[in-house]
Amino acid sequence: MDVNSGWVFPAGAQQPIGIYRKGPLYSSAEYDVYRSVSTRLKDHVVKEFGLDTLYFTAPTFITREAADLDGSWKPSTPHDEYWHPHVDKNNTAHYDYSGLLYLTTSGEDFEGGELHFFDSAHSALDCSAMENRTQPGPCLVTGKPTLVVEPRAGRAIVFGSGRENPHRVTQVTGGTRYVLSFWFTCDARREMISFLDGKMHVRFGETKDEPAGDRAGIGDSNTETSEL
């Protein structure tokens, strides 16, 4: 669920749907907390990577991953299978830096759900299946992870979104895992300002006072005139 732009990708859906069709879901104070978190993460990325310019972009997510205890759940689309190795920039071309803030703790709120990173010195990544636009498949990786991150509520992690950081989340086997996922871009054309106004926003380049005209829609990272 993208609190800022106002869209959610339900399990099994091929396209996102609006969450603010009946008005705001959160209070001004709650939106302010979300804005503060995203701003602090952005500032941290700028500092850690020595950047001069960086923009908040979309889509971003509050993600919920729950255990399938009775085995009745079946993934309907590749988006539902969160546990496959992937590269963020392969999924959304304008992502340059990724940020995660965990809201729950491994071993207390859920089991499984570790974040695994792989590198070229110890593993091999094949993302050729992602090139199939009609039925894209997951990346394939061989070898063991070189870094394992155990989620802990309040723990934040930032990393480059490119092929230097293939990663995956292991399947949640018990409880429910929550995480805030943010992405940032160096491309001014893909900026999505922090609206957090309880309204839906479709296009990059919008401001609080002016629409974005024919700027690209957040549902597509490659075509300048596409919409959701």
Catalytic residues: 177
Which residues neighbour 24 within 8 Å (Cβ) at sequence distance 6 or greater? 197, 198, 199
- Residues in CB range of 102: below 8 A, 6 or more apart: 151, 152, 153, 154, 155, 156, 178, 179
Tokens representing 188 are 């001014």
Residue 56 CB partners (closer than 8 Å, separation 6+): 38, 42, 182, 184, 191, 192, 193, 194
Which positions ≥6 away from 20 have C-beta within 8 Å?
A: 6, 198, 199, 200
Question: Six-digit token pair at 3?
Answer: 């609190």
For residue 122, with 0-12 CB atoms within 10 Å meaning exposed, 13-18 middle and 19 or more buried, which class applies? exposed
Q: H or E stretch including 222?
A: none
Distance of CA 213 to the CA centre of its chain: 25
